[in-house]
């Protein structure tokens, strides 16, 4: 009887699992079919509704259940490639009459915002309207909204206009309380990624570089806003200095917005544009539903292709996982593009503040090999600094946005001596037996000898010499000139162009055009091939259900998210590192 019940129970469980998987398959297939025809089914007189208050990554994860019940999760990332592609298609789509933009507090870097903003400006060439509404806006949100024909701010809302600030966190006090001693080995006065562990504030060189690139980003933003709103840069600066914008009426009086009003008032204006009766419902189309075409990614009949290899996140050895750059994965993608005769040029798109020096060099080697076979163009996103710059410095040409963060050509090694912490706080002690004097080197459970510290410093200096030597060769600069702008110093893209670290200002589209020109390909004579390919369907599903994603951490934890990210990054900081100050928050 017991055996019988066991088989019955097993059968029931199996049927339930089968039913659940079957349900997912049916939903997925249905979603795939509905989404594949979404563009052709866009009704006439539609408005594209774009909400940019979600995380923005290089490419979307495309959760097929994103609009279905419990699978619709806050924090699903939007893809920059998909956003721009949707705007480009909407520009020429007669069924799309305009855009309703919501960009109150975009969760994107400044270079990503630049690409989206430029795509919106290009959309406006169609003479279709762009209207923006917000209950409150940060500087990032206003930078996007400033291109709109109409900007509505809720009467009870606010516009944050007090300038940009870059806030860094320091953990020396915490480590002192825990009696954990950091052992730091670095090269470069500006290599400030280690400062949070050994200081309570910014060093002089670090404050100098942060002030420099922060003002560069701010000035670029002000010039763009001034041009879009027909305002003066000095006026915008004065408003920030004096906290002039304290209520919506102040923003209206200074002509930073066009209207103080509620969302229903903006919708009434949209109905007038569409010639709709006041009682008629506006047909809004979300960007995620509008852009579901994969035609740019799939291999077509053309024998001419440009491979766009996207590398985003921290750099480490092994395979890419989540939002990270695994040297094994990216090196294989570069190699695959090099050996594919249909691929005539390669664009390496990097969004990274660095990571493992060894992993960065592995990918650099593949760039060098690929460059011998076909043009390789580097494209910088929000960050392409330290190890992120190392990946690109061998490219034929490098393209960056004016507000990209780059440079940080420097290295460091970081170890934590936890001997006192374990002994005094936890009562744990360690002892050891060695066959040779340095068999336990390096270790986190005891103090290193002066000789061992010297060995670590020399190893760090060797990697720095390798970094600067290869950077000088790649950029065709004398080594002394390269080292004068290295030292771990961070620059913006516009500053990088002025000193020779960058060849051209622009986004991914400009990098692709440059790749086509370098390969002597004409417009319309090539297809884009994005690599790596997106995750398989069920891998996307499991990822969306698990929620163990950096963008979702940001969406769910808000102000606490950076500290969770620090802990995760510390686990990967093994060996000699090429990183910029990873906790930098510019807002």
- 551: tokens are 């963008």
Catalytic residues: 191, 386
Beta strands in 247-386 (DSSP E): 259-260, 284-286, 305-312, 314-316, 324-326, 343-352, 354-356, 376-385
d(CA 455, CA 467): 19
Residue 425 backbone phi and psi in degrees, to 5:
-95, -35
Please name the residues in contact with 307: beta carbons below 8 A apart, sequence gap of 6 or more: 333, 337, 340, 343, 345, 346, 347, 529, 531
CA distances to 350, 378, 554 from 399, rounded to whole Å, are 11, 6, 28
d(CA 67, CA 86): 18
Counting every residue written for the chain, the total comes to 587
d(CA 386, CA 578): 5
Measured at the alpha carbon of residue 455, what is the angle toward residues 453 and 457, in degrees to the nearest 5? 70
Closest CA to 190 of 486, 470, 406: 486
CA distances to 82, 254, 532 from 509, rounded to whole Å, are 13, 35, 18
Would you say 337 and 367 are in contact if contact means Cβ atoms under 8 Å apart?
no
DSSP secondary structure letter of residue 370: H
436: burial class by Cβ within 10 Å (0-12, 13-18, 19+)?
exposed
Which helix (H) or strand (E) is 305 found in, with range?
strand 305-312
Measured at the alpha carbon of residue 549, what is the angle toward residues 546 and 553, in degrees to the nearest 5? 105
d(CA 172, CA 199): 6
> Which residue, chain included where needed, has tokens 């035609």?
295
d(CA 363, CA 366): 5
Helix, coil or strand: residue 157: strand
d(CA 101, CA 263): 12
- 409: tokens are 């050509």
d(CA 327, CA 362): 6
Please name the residues in contact with 367: beta carbons below 8 A apart, sequence gap of 6 or more: 334, 348, 376, 391, 392, 394, 395
């Amino acid at each position: 009887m017991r055996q019988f019940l066991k088989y019955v129970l097993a059968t029931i469980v199996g049927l339930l699992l089968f039913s659940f998987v079957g349900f997912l398959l049916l939903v997925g297939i249905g979603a795939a079919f509905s989404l594949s025809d979404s563009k052709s089914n866009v009704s006439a007189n539609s408005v594209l509704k774009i909400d940019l208050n979600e995380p923005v990554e290089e490419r979307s994860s495309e959760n097929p259940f994103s609009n279905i019940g419990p699978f619709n999760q806050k924090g699903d990332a939007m893809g920059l490639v998909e956003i721009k592609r949707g705007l480009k298609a909407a520009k020429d789509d007669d069924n799309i009459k305009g855009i309703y933009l919501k960009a109150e507090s975009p969760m994107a870097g400044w270079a990503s915002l630049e690409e989206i903003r430029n795509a919106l400006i290009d959309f406006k060439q169609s003479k279709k309207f762009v209207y923006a509404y917000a209950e409150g806006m940060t500087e990032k949100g206003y930078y996007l909204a400033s291109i709109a024909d109409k900007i509505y701010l809720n009467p009870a809302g606010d516009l944050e206009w007090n300038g940009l600030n870059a806030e860094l966190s320091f953990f020396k006090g915490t480590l002192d309380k825990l009696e954990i001693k950091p052992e730091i080995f670095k090269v470069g006065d500006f290599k400030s990624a280690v400062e949070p562990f050994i200081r309570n504030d910014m060093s002089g060189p670090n404050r100098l570089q942060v002030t420099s690139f922060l003002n560069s980003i701010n000035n670029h933003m002000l010039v763009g806003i001034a041009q879009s709103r027909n305002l003066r840069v000095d006026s915008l600066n004065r408003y920030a200095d004096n906290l002039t914008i304290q209520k919506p009426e102040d923003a209206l009086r200074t002509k930073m917005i066009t209207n103080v009003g509620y969302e229903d008032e903006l919708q009434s204006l949209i109905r007038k544009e569409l010639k709709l009766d006041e009682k008629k419902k506006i047909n809004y189309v979300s960007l995620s539903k509008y852009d579901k075409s994969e035609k740019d990614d799939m291999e077509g009949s053309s024998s001419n292709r440009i491979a766009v290899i996207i590398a985003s996140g921290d750099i480490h050895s092994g395979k890419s996982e989540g939002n990270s750059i695994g040297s094994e994965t990216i090196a294989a993608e570069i190699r695959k593009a090099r050996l594919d005769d249909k691929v005539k040029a390669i664009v390496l798109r990097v969004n990274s503040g660095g990571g493992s020096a060894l992993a960065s060099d592995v990918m650099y080697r593949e760039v060098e090999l690929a460059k011998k076979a076909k043009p390789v163009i580097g494209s910088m996103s929000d960050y392409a600094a330290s190890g992120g710059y190392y990946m690109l410095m061998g490219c034929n040409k490098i393209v960056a946005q004016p507000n990209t963060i780059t440079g940080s050509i420097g290295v460091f090694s970081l170890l934590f001596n936890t001997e006192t912490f374990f002994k005094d706080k936890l009562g744990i002690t360690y002892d050891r037996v060695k066959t040779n004097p340095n068999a336990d080197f390096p270790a986190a459970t005891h103090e290193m000898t002066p000789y061992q510290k010297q060995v670590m410093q020399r190893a760090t200096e060797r990697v720095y010499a390798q970094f600067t030597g290869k950077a000088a060769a790649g950029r065709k600069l004398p080594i002394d000139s390269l080292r004068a702008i290295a030292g771990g110093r961070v620059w913006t893209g516009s500053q990088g162009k002025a000193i020779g670290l960058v060849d051209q200002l622009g986004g991914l589209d400009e990098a692709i055009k440059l790749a086509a020109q370098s390969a002597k390909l004409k417009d319309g004579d090539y297809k884009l091939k994005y690599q790596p390919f997106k995750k398989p369907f069920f891998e996307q599903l499991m990822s969306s259900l698990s929620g163990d994603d950096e963008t979702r951490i940001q969406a769910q934890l808000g102000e606490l998210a950076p500290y969770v990210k620090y802990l995760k990054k510390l686990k990967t900081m093994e060996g000699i590192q090429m990183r910029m100050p990873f906790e930098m928050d510019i807002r």
